[in-house]
Amino acid sequence: MSDKETFIFDFDSTFIQVEALDILCEVIYKNSSVGIQVLNEIQRLTNLGMEGKLSLKESLTKRIALLQANRDHLGELIEELRHKVSESVIRNRVFFKQNAENIYIISNGFKEIIIPIVQEYGIKPSHVLANTFRFDHDGKIIGFDEKDELCENKGKVLKIKSLNLEGEVIMIGDGYTDYETLQGGAATKFYAFTENVSRAVVIEKADRLAPSLDEILFDLSYKASVSYPKNRISVLLLENIHADALSIFKHEGYSVEIVNESLSEDELCNKIKDVSILGIHSKTQISPRVLDAALKLHTIGIFSIGKNQVNLEECSKRGIAVFNAPYSNTRSVVELALGEMIMLIRNTFEKSTQLHNGIWDSSSEKSVEIRGKKLGIIGYGSIGSQLSVIAEALGMMVYFYDISDKLALGNAKKCSSLEELLALSDIVTLHVDERDSNNHLIDTDAFKQMKEGVVLLNLSRGHIINLEALVKNLKSGKVKGAAIDVFPNEPIGEKENFSSELQRLPNVILTPHIGGNTEEAQLDIAHFVAKKVIQYINTGSTFGSVNLPEIQLPEFQSAHRIMHIHENVKGILAHINTILSEFDYNIIGQYLKTNENMGYVITDIDNLHNTDLEKQLKEIPKTIRYRILY
Ligand code: NAI
């Protein structure tokens, strides 16, 4: 930082996220029914002052009189405000500490509140320009120093001028009085700070908008000491992704655009040029052409389980990390499977259909409990194993078969072959993955091995069962009932009709691929995927990525992180370290992970003094991508 630059921050709604007097009101009136009325009035008076429609002295006098505050309230208030410092201020704590000599806080508020908060960021009490309260003998606040120029109109201008600062004076604030410092010649630059509030009257006047402090420091070329401004990271969310994902990205400070449908290849190619983070559901196809058009894309969040819609190999070749949510809907599938087992084994649907037609059949014939029955689970992965535990808790005897060696949970028993499992199970349920070799895993032969009167469930993938064989066995009575949630040819949307040979067969439950589709699952997916993507952007962690080598990283503090993605060839790590040692860098930590095709090296260094470093890293042969976090 040049000695001639001075930063002056407004306090309320800028350094902190809120107006301190609003929070003081909440502290005082937290248990009172009139609290909300007082707060509304305080906010109205604050805004009138901020927008220049009421004199500051008048606005303050009225607010102090309304509040009826005392010294004890201030202690509580300060505790509250410590948790309400603006996010980008917290992120740039190092900037404040390093440049404390040149940073001031100016406020129409009060030193008793401001100093304890900003001192934690290295700001000196003498650099806090604010008013002071007047107290009576009992510690009640009865007014403020009316002689202080800060309670006069244009007080901030006078106060800054009295400092006789030289060089650039950069004012950062959200209110009209902050803008006045530029207008009145006290500041040379004014940034309208909109991270917490946006006031039209201020934005209109400002020549510079700052959605965060990152943006200001970036604009002023403090690139080597601050993080890349998050508002410059653009996120495109397609296909009606859950609103919580949108909020999470917005809260992070990114610029987010949402489109409720999926886009065609052409449409996406047009839109994706400046996008850094793409969020999709199951319908948007990510082809090499789309990836070629995506000049800034770092990561794709798939807000569902399946990942076939994304060309993972091409993403890897470009160093784009892809994340999905493989476990968010496990429980939802398990619950539906359990419910369906009970419905089928009790003949509930048949009885319900009969009753709809006026037939009262209350006999117990063919209606049995699941307790004590043998449940055969094929595929003991996330879903199969969770089903095992809950089914056992309901009194079932659980057997499973998996092609991988899986540890049996509870008292479940492992079968050594599919034949063994089919021969003993009263209920067979499929939870295998979609690999090609599972096509028609359950075919005519498999049905022959099953018990007479077996119940069959498929909530995995449509091609696993030969439906022709299933229909035959349902009609013959060999299979007593079936629940099918997935089909070989599923309609793409609601407009397309569904037709299947299973329709209109008794004791067959058909559901439109909803096993994992619950509000809870969608919510969990929104949080899980958004957080993975943000973690990748913020720290470089690829833990949970479906295509890049997975590295789970510790938080990095007081360091710069270099992320280098490359083709998996020998010698890259040595090459990176040679460059760092030539430039005399001190390596604080280093992590390397490779898969068959790619390598990912993360290196934390204590400072970043050579601008040539980026160029050298980029020129290492077989580099796919590199990124530096400041
Ligand atoms: P997972 O990958 O955790 O488990 C699959 C298991 O099946 C693995 O342990 C694997 O070794 C085993 N397996 C694969 N082929 C096999 C075979 N021929 N015989 C025996 N075991 C075999 O998968 P997860 O998360 O448990 O999902 C299971 C299935 O459920 C997947 O097909 C998934 O696509 C589907 N699914 C369906 C949903 C729905 O809405 N209906 C929602 C979520 C998942």
Q: Is the CB of 378 under 6 A from ligand 1?
A: yes
Q: How much is the average pLDDT of 288-309?
A: 94
Rounded to 10 deg, the angle between the 35-50 and 56-67 helix axes is 170
Distance of alpha carbon 186 from the chain centroid? 41
Query: For 229, which DSSP code?
Result: P
Q: Can you give the pLDDT at residue 166? A: 92
Read off the pLDDT of residues 112-122 as tens digits, 9 standing for 90 and up.
Answer: 999 999 999 99
The best mutation among 409, 439, 460 to test binding of ligand 1, ranked by most ligand atoms within 8 Å of the C-beta, falls on: 460
**CA-to-CA separations, 57 to 20, 45, 129, in angstroms, rounded:** 17, 11, 16
d(CA 207, CA 223): 21
Read off the pLDDT of residues 466-479 as tens digits, 9 standing for 90 and up.
Answer: 999 999 999 999 99
- Please provide the DSSP assignment of 335-364 as one string: HHHHHHHHHHHTTHHHHHHHHHTT------
Separation of first and last alpha carbons in the chain: 16
Q: Can you give the pLDDT at residue 37? A: 87
By the 8 A CB rule, do 108 and 156 touch?
yes
How many other C-beta atoms are found inside a 10 Å radius of the C-beta of residue 549? 19
Q: Is the CB of 325 under 6 A from ligand 1?
A: no
Q: Can you give the pLDDT at residue 556? A: 65
Chain position carrying tokens 């349902």: 474
Q: Is the CB of 382 under 6 A from ligand 1?
A: yes
Q: Can you give the pLDDT at residue 205? A: 87
Read off the pLDDT of residues 346-363 as tens digits, 9 standing for 90 and up.
Answer: 999 889 999 999 999 999
**Side-by-side strand order, sheet with 587-594:** 587-594, 598-605, 560-567, 623-629
Question: Which has the closest alpha carbon to 426: 393, 446, 456?
Answer: 456
340 is an active site residue? no
Rounded to 10 deg, the angle between the 155-162 and 176-183 helix axes is 50
Centre of ligand 1 from the C-alpha of residue 443, in Å: 18
490 is an active site residue? yes
Read off the pLDDT of residues 373-392 as tens digits, 9 standing for 90 and up.
Answer: 999 999 999 999 999 999 99
Q: Is the pLDDT of residue 9 over 80?
A: yes
- 151: tokens are 């309670």
Between 85 and 366, the higher pLDDT residue: 85
User: CB burial class (10 A; 0-12, 13-18, 19+) of residue 587?
Assistant: middle
Average pLDDT, the chain: 92
Chain position carrying tokens 């004791």: 507
Question: Which has the closest alpha carbon to 270: 252, 247, 251, 290?
Answer: 290
Q: How much is the average pLDDT of 188-203?
A: 92
| Helix, strand, or coil (residue 425) | coil
User: CB burial class (10 A; 0-12, 13-18, 19+) of residue 408?
Assistant: middle
How many other C-beta atoms are found inside a 10 Å radius of the C-beta of residue 372? 10
- 61: tokens are 């006098």
Between 231 and 454, the higher pLDDT residue: 454
Q: Can you give the pLDDT at residue 2? A: 46
Centre of ligand 1 from the C-alpha of residue 383, in Å: 7
Q: Is the CB of 131 under 6 A from ligand 1?
A: no
**CA-to-CA separations, 182 to 129, 189, 193, 233, 380, in angstroms, rounded:** 17, 6, 14, 29, 67
Between 395 and 588, the higher pLDDT residue: 395
- Assign residue 287 a region (left: φ > 0; alpha: ψ between -120 and 50; beta: otherwise): beta
Domains and CATH numbers, the chain: 5-219 (3.40.50.1000), 330-510 (3.40.50.720), 549-630 (3.30.70.260)
Centre of ligand 1 from the C-alpha of residue 186, in Å: 67
83 is an active site residue? no
Read off the pLDDT of residues 68-122 as tens digits, 9 standing for 90 and up.
Answer: 999 999 999 999 999 999 988 998 888 899 899 999 999 999 999 999 999 999 9
Centre of ligand 1 from the C-alpha of residue 167, in Å: 66
Length of the chain: 630
By the 8 A CB rule, do 296 and 274 touch?
yes
d(CA 95, CA 83): 19
Select which of 127, 199, 461, 575 is catalytic.
461
Q: Is the CB of 443 under 6 A from ligand 1?
A: no
If pLDDT is split at 50, 70 and 90, which confidence band does 1 have? Answer: very low
- 295: tokens are 């000049």
Q: Can you give the pLDDT at residue 496? A: 84
By the 8 A CB rule, do 465 and 442 touch?
yes
d(CA 478, CA 458): 17
Q: Is the CB of 434 under 6 A from ligand 1?
A: yes
d(CA 323, CA 529): 7
User: CB burial class (10 A; 0-12, 13-18, 19+) of residue 621?
Assistant: exposed
Centre of ligand 1 from the C-alpha of residue 243, in Å: 28
HEC letters along 63-88? HHHHHCCEHHHHHHHHHHHHCCECHH
| Helix, strand, or coil (residue 309) | coil
Rounded to 10 deg, the angle between the 243-251 and 519-539 helix axes is 20
If pLDDT is split at 50, 70 and 90, which confidence band does 230 have? Answer: confident
Read off the pLDDT of residues 547-589 as tens digits, 9 standing for 90 and up.
Answer: 999 998 876 666 788 899 999 999 999 999 999 988 888 888 8
Q: Is the CB of 195 under 6 A from ligand 1?
A: no
d(CA 444, CA 474): 12
d(CA 98, CA 1): 9
Q: Is the dihedral of CA 80, 86, 87, 93 positive or negative?
A: negative
Q: Is the pLDDT of residue 191 over 50?
A: yes
Q: Which helix (H) or strand (E) holds 278?
A: strand 277-280
| Helix, strand, or coil (residue 261) | coil
> Can you list the positions of beta strands (E) in 349-453?
374-378, 397-401, 413-414, 427-430
Chain position carrying tokens 């990510």: 286
Read off the pLDDT of residues 134-184 as tens digits, 9 standing for 90 and up.
Answer: 999 999 999 999 999 998 888 999 999 999 999 999 999 999 899 999 999
Q: Is the CB of 383 under 6 A from ligand 1?
A: yes
How many other C-beta atoms are found inside a 10 Å radius of the C-beta of residue 313? 10
Tell me which residue has its CA closest to atom 12 in ligand 1: 379
Q: Can you give the pLDDT at residue 218? A: 85
Q: What is the pTM of this model?
A: 0.72
Within 230-264, where are the H helices? Answer: 243-251
**CA-to-CA separations, 329 to 285, 288, 514, 521, 522, in angstroms, rounded:** 22, 29, 10, 5, 8
Chain position carrying tokens 């609290």: 35
If pLDDT is split at 50, 70 and 90, which confidence band does 609 have? Answer: low
Q: Can you give the pLDDT at residue 451? A: 98
Distance of alpha carbon 523 from the chain centroid? 11
Q: Is the CB of 441 under 6 A from ligand 1?
A: yes
Centre of ligand 1 from the C-alpha of residue 39, in Å: 55
How many other C-beta atoms are found inside a 10 Å radius of the C-beta of residue 186? 23
Quote the Cα angle for 533-538-541, to 5°.
65
If pLDDT is split at 50, 70 and 90, which confidence band does 611 have? Answer: low
Q: Which helix (H) or strand (E) holds 287?
A: none
What percent of the chain lies above the pLDDT cut of 90? 74
The best mutation among 282, 406, 421, 433 to test binding of ligand 1, ranked by most ligand atoms within 8 Å of the C-beta, falls on: 433
Tell me which residue has its CA closest to atom 15 in ligand 1: 432
By the 8 A CB rule, do 551 and 267 touch?
no
Q: Is the pLDDT of residue 436 over 90?
A: yes
